[in-house]
Amino acid sequence: MLSWKQFRHGVIKGFPVCLGYIPVSFTFGIMAVQSGLPVWLAIFISISNLTSAGQFAGTKLLAAGAGFLEVGLTTLVINLRYMLMSLALSQRVDTKVSMGHRLLMGYGITDEIFAIAITETEEITPAYMYGLIITPVFGWTLGTALGALTNGILPASLSNAMGIALYAMFIAIIIPPAKQSMPVLATIVIAIVVTCILRYIPIFSFISSGFQVILATIVAAVIMAALVPITEDGTAERGQQA
């Protein structure tokens, strides 16, 4: 049976993400309508895709009349990082959780929902995930609808400031464990260095932003898994005192 308590816990954890999603999806709603899409389709894109960079890029391609192959491949490349997240989550879900639940839980794997779920110390249950998914989906859809309908009445100074919200949440998620564990801090530093190299060195400019994340993650995690493998209790042993 699904636990109401776990669901509520998920809803509460999802609330900051919901708020952070509103200004981003607001911008998407404006962009979609300005590219000539009807309001209902903009909203449908947000509910069915639930991605930021992926749906921005795909919608721009569709507005430009691109071929389906290009649209599909671009979506694949930008969103492929979710596979790594889904794999990491799969190891935190009880083996008894049914296929039906897994099919529903998979729908809600976004950068932010993943970041919150994976840092839970307890096991990830379907009820918790549904709560954690439903609030951000609501915010993402609401923001899209508001942006599409009002076509941009949010003052630029305010929406610019709100642009930092989701990034600030990521900082709030990774700083406390980095403070406690040297290996975690090292992982973060390696990932940032690789991302910067891929982003700023011109010969790598053909690599999309989604792939930058994949490559940086794999390089950092491969190095750290070799240098500091986890112990039986599932944490990195050395450097805990740092």
Partner 1 sequence: MSYAVTGVILMAVVTYIIRVLPITVFKKQIESRYIRSFLYYVPYAVIASLTFPGIFYATGNVMTAVLGTAAAILLALFRQGLVVVAIGAILVVYISGLFL
Write out the binding residues for partner 1, residues 4-43 only, by CB under 8 A. 15-16, 19-20, 37-38, 41
Q: Which is nearer to partner 1, 8 or 199 (CB)?
A: 199
What contacts 61, CB < 8 A, 6 or more positions away? 70, 71, 74
Contact 146, 33 (CB under 8 A): no
Question: Which one of 39, 71, 182, 207 is in contact with partner 1 (CB under 8 A)?
Answer: 71
Identity of the residue numbered 50 = L
Residues in the interface with partner 1 (CB under 8 A) total 104
DSSP 65: T
Residue 135 interacting with partner 1 (CB under 8 A): no
Read off the tokens for 235: 């944490």
CB of 11 to partner 1, least distance (A): 14
CB of 219 to partner 1, least distance (A): 8
Read off the tokens for 63: 């507005």
Q: Which of 57, 34, 55 is nearest to 45 (CA)?
A: 55
What's the rounded Cα separation, in Å, for the pair 64 and 224?
A: 43
Residue 180 interacting with partner 1 (CB under 8 A): no
Q: Which is nearer to partner 1, 161 or 242 (CB)?
A: 161
DSSP 38: -
Map the footprint of partner 1 across residues 206-235, applying CB under 8 A: 209, 212-213, 216-217, 220-222, 224-226, 228-230, 234-235
CB of 176 to partner 1, least distance (A): 6
CB of 184 to partner 1, least distance (A): 5
Question: Which one of 21, 28, 82, 128 is in contact with partner 1 (CB under 8 A)?
Answer: 82
Map the footprint of partner 1 across residues 88-117, applying CB under 8 A: 88-91, 93, 95, 99, 102-103, 105-107, 109, 111, 114-115
How far out from the chain centre does Cα 107 lie? 12
Contact 88, 120 (CB under 8 A): no
CB of 118 to partner 1, least distance (A): 4
CB of 154 to partner 1, least distance (A): 13
Q: In 3-state terms, what secondary structure has residue 230?
A: strand
What's the rounded Cα separation, in Å, for the pair 45 and 71?
A: 14
